[in-house]
């Protein structure tokens, strides 16, 4: 009898934990404020949609080494980053990039909280752009 109680209790715990895990994954996926895209996908979007804007969130020192033609800039590490993005048109689509893809993810989260809805993170950032466009 005691063994049956342990089995039932263990089964209940396993079932409960598996349901919780599924809910966490579902919630996390549902709240992702951006879509990851490749450099090639970004280039195709520019050709297809007139309202797509490249947003470079690198530092001025990094930008001095080159940037995507036509991109606008807002330094993620700057104290004025939130002010700079609040001045942008929220109705446009933004392809956010940095040097390698880390800061652009963080910037996309901040932009989503500020009311931007069409955000894309260019995987690999400017480093990937340079590789594809040599």
Q: Which of 42, 68, 95, 98 is catalytic?
A: 98
- First-last CA distance in the chain: 72
For residue 79, how many C-alpha atoms fall within 13 Å in the half-sphere facing its CB? Answer: 0
10 Å Cβ neighbour count for 56? 24
Q: Is 38 helix (H, G, I), strand (E, B) or coil?
A: coil
98 classed as catalytic:
yes
CB 111 within 8 A of CB 89: no
Residue 106 has which token pair?
């963080």
Residue 122 has which token pair?
């260019």
- How many residues are recorded in the chain? 134
Q: Is 125 helix (H, G, I), strand (E, B) or coil?
A: helix
**Residues catalogued as catalytic:** 98
């Amino acid at each position: 009898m005691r063994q049956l109680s342990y089995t039932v209790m263990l089964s209940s715990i396993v079932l409960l934990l598996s349901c919780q895990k599924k809910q966490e994954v579902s919630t996390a996926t549902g709240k992702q404020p951006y879509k990851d895209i490749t450099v090639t996908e970004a280039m195709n979007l520019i050709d297809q949609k007139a309202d797509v804007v490249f947003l470079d969130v690198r530092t001025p020192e990094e930008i001095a080494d080159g940037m995507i033609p036509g991109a606008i800039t807002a330094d993620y590490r700057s104290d004025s980053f939130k002010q700079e993005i609040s001045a942008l048109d929220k109705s446009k689509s933004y392809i956010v990039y940095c040097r390698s893809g880390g800061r652009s993810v963080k910037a996309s989260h901040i932009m989503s909280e500020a009311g931007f809805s069409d955000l894309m993170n260019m995987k690999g950032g400017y480093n990937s752009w340079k590789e594809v466009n040599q």
